[in-house]
Amino acid sequence: MADNNVEHLSVEEAFEQFCKGVSFYEPFWDHVLGYWKASLEWPERVLFMKYEDMKKDSPFHLKRLAEFMGCPFSSEEERQGVVHEILKLCSFENLSNLKVNNTGTFQLGNRKIGKHIFFRQGKVGEWRNHLTNDMVDRLNKIVEQKLSGSGLTFHDSVER
């Protein structure tokens, strides 16, 4: 059943807002760079992780997170498959199929947005299916400008 009070943004509208830094939780790049710099300054207090890296080697990054939180996995837990079970419970597939995550709405400022829009496919590089070449070029320029000199890079950069 569709909710007529739910606002739907097109990819083009959302992209434009993102590029201009005018969407609700902006400025995105200031947030990212703030946490990046804090992770360099206080690595014992701020752990900076990238989705692409976590997808590439999920067990390694889960163990890294557990160690950071002061709760490393024991050898016995690893032998018993605890890491694998946590990864299964926290997988995109599992979380995106939970009723709480795919029904109802989320209030974003004065907009009501369907929760289901927060889940697409959970695949690295899937954005390529949604952005035009012009959008990619524009985003590349913004990324280059905003991250310049920070040392922060992305493995799956915005390339065609």
pLDDT digits (tens, 9 = 90+) for 100-130: 877 888 777 777 877 777 777 777 777 778 8
Q: Where residue 25 falls among pLDDT bands split at 50, 70, 90?
A: low
- What does the alpha-carbon distance between residue 52 and residue 60 come to, in Å, rounded to a whole number? 13
Average pLDDT over residues 84-102: 89
For the entire predicted model, the pTM comes to 0.76
Can you say how many angstroms the Cα of residue 110 is from the centroid of all Cα atoms in its chain?
Answer: 23
Residue 33, both tokens: 């760079």
Query: End-to-end alpha-carbon separation of the chain, Å?
Result: 37
Q: What is the mean pLDDT of the chain?
A: 84
Average pLDDT over residues 123-141: 85
Closest among 55, 69, 109, 63 to 82, alpha carbons compared: 63
Average pLDDT over residues 86-92: 94
Q: Where residue 143 falls among pLDDT bands split at 50, 70, 90?
A: confident
Q: Write down the pLDDT at residue 127.
A: 78
How much of the chain, in percent, has pLDDT values that exceed 70? 88
